[in-house]
Structure 1
Amino acid sequence: MSVWLVTGASRGLGVEIARAAVAGGEKVAVAARRPDSVPEDIRESEEVLTVGLDVTDTDQIYRAVEEVVGKFGRIDVLVNNAGRGLLGALEEISDAEARSLFDVNVFGLINTTRAVLPHMRTAGGGKLVHIGSRSGFEGEPGVSMYSASKAAVAGVSEALAAELEPFGIQSMVVEPGVFRTDFLDASSVQLPERRIPDYDGTPAHVTLDWAGEANHTQLGDPVKGAAFIYQVTSGETLPLHLPVGADAFERREVMTARIAREIAPLHAASAATAYVDAERADS
């Protein structure tokens, strides 16, 4: 039996990951900005502790972590799921809107991880599961800032995997494709206050139109996706990246092939940018 802390656990993948963990016999702390928004079937479970947590409030993060450790004695798995979206062309997005997104998706994740790590180091192990996105691997039009925030999550997770290996702590970034959750609802995704008509009909605004049409019709099943994430997390060794969903795998393959194709002709010229050893040059 492990102790899990799942942030952003009132709905979507967060609540389904919490349900999967409870069904697997784990003790689970579910964290949400509004604890009363966590579904009753989760809140009423004897194996669940519900805590209030706004990941943009550092003091609240540390209080929530101490509450979980005080209740269960430790935290074995941290699932950094809290996050939100921001759609629009980069030119339309204000500095305040971009910074607000990063406060949740990046700095909230960093600060929550920072609060949990001393407990994991003391225990001699643990697992960090960061919910990134398919868009963190492939920047997509209309979601530039969201893609940037999730690319940051991937970079942090990869670095943590190396930094924390001496302590027996593993780190994995989960990169879901599109799942049928509330993510595209107005309560989860923000649109910029300014809309530039010149972008109408271009890829950035096509994404905006798609988001309205795709809401609650996405192909990904969050229950199955969460069960898969739980299954992998419960294994002995975490992969560095975990794409979830057929679209996540397909887009990764497309982008990997494109990168390989485009850089192959440039390899020799790129390598030639190094200093030339003086002795070899003389000979």
Structure 2
Amino acid sequence: MNEATGIHTGNDPSSGEVGTPDRSLGWVVTGASQGFGRALVEALLARGDSAVATVRDESSIADLLDAYPQRLTVVTADFRERDAADRVAAAALERLGTPDVLVNNAGRAIVGAAEEVEPDALRELMDVNFFAATTLTRALLPAMRRRGGGTIMQFSSQGGRLSFPGVGAYSASKFALEGWSEALAAEVAPFGIRVVCVEPSRFRTGFNTGHSLGMSTELDAYAPVVGAVRAELAGADGIQEGDPARAAEILVDLAHGDRVPLRLPLGAEAVDRLTDAYTDALANVRSLADLARSADFADAAPSSRVV
């Protein structure tokens, strides 16, 4: 462990260990201490790939570092700190050269009505869930462009496409990430870089514990609307439907495959909820189409855009 940098590395990733028959990949995975990040690191290492993984507490991943010292580099990083993403990028470029896969998974949530969530708490959430991901992505993009390829996996949520009472702050951060990433996907496609927004429903990741889930101060006025949401989210740990290990295998297979979707729902609930949300949204647009069109100048030519 380098105390100055927070980086713990083993030996050169090419020494002493045998990869998979297909080309091994070099990954950067944030938030690897638990949940999706931890499951992904386990799955990719078992596949024969290498990783630079970030955690806030190195002991949470010490067993994997012991088992795969040649192919795992651990960086301690707290993405609430503004320089964390740049430090991680520097370590990734030094260790992997140009990473093949970037997984922006680190994140947290806060439950509360819009009036209950304090501005500082909302800004901190946006820093961790949105700005850290965009900063790390931007830091690694030049190397990916020069090489002409790479895959960027942005961990969003079903809450990145729909929202409900009590999760507006969290959804805001994920809506922002998805909007930014949708534009990014079109911008970097000519360079052979792929972008996928991962949209899970409920998985047994530790997300529904105090480690990742915060609660705002409660106002009595919102108890009838938000109270049940608070209780459901706080009590969901260990009973979620989704299996992080299975999700990780899907994502590792995807990274090794020829194509990735722009958006990937994960879990049956995500499929059902997103289907309902898209269906309702389309029905709403259609029902208002004539009214909406009437807002244009009557003699204006139809819209014509570059994209």
TM class by smaller structure: over 0.9
1:43 and 1:29 map into 2 onto residues whose CA distance is 14
In structure 2, do the counterparts of structure 1 residues 198 and 117 end up closer, same or farther at CA, with 3 Å as the change threshold?
A: same
Structure 2 matches for 1:24-35, cutoff 5 A? Answer: 24-35=47-58
Shift of 1:3: 0.6
Aligned-partner residue type, residue 286 of structure 2 = A
Partner of 2:61: 38
Of all paired residues, the percent bearing the same amino acid is: 35
2:141 and 2:87 map into 1 onto residues whose CA distance is 14
User: Which deviates more, 37-46 or 258-267?
Assistant: 37-46
CA contact 1:55–1:109 (8 Å) conserved in 2: no
Match of 1:62 among 80, 86, 96: 86
2:104 and 2:234 map into 1 onto residues whose CA distance is 26
Partner of 1:237: 259
1:190 and 1:199 map into 2 onto residues whose CA distance is 17
TM-score (norm 1): 0.93
**In the alignment, is residue 8 of structure 1 matched against residue 37 of structure 2?**
no
Number of aligned pairs?
Answer: 277
CA contact 1:43–1:49 (8 Å) conserved in 2: no
Partner of 1:221: 243
Match of 1:272 among 294, 301, 304: 294
Aligned-partner residue type, residue 229 of structure 1 = L
Partner of 2:156: 132
**In the alignment, is residue 19 of structure 1 matched against residue 42 of structure 2?**
yes
Shift of 1:61: 2.4
Shift of 1:274: 1.7
Shift of 1:137: 0.7
Aligned-partner residue type, residue 244 of structure 1 = L
Shift of 1:213: 2.1
CA contact 1:29–1:51 (8 Å) conserved in 2: yes
Partner of 2:112: 88
CA contact 2:88–2:136 (8 Å) conserved in 1: no
Superposed CA deviations along residues 116-153 of structure 1, whole A, max 9, x for unmatched, are 11111121111110000011111121111101111111
Structure having the larger proportion of residues in helix: 1
1:76 and 1:200 map into 2 onto residues whose CA distance is 46
2:66 and 2:87 map into 1 onto residues whose CA distance is 19
TM-score (norm 2): 0.86
Partner of 1:99: 123
Structure 1 unmatched ranges of 5 or more = none
Superposed CA deviations along residues 42-77 of structure 1, whole A, max 9, x for unmatched, are 453121111122223343322322222222222110
1:278 and 1:77 map into 2 onto residues whose CA distance is 46
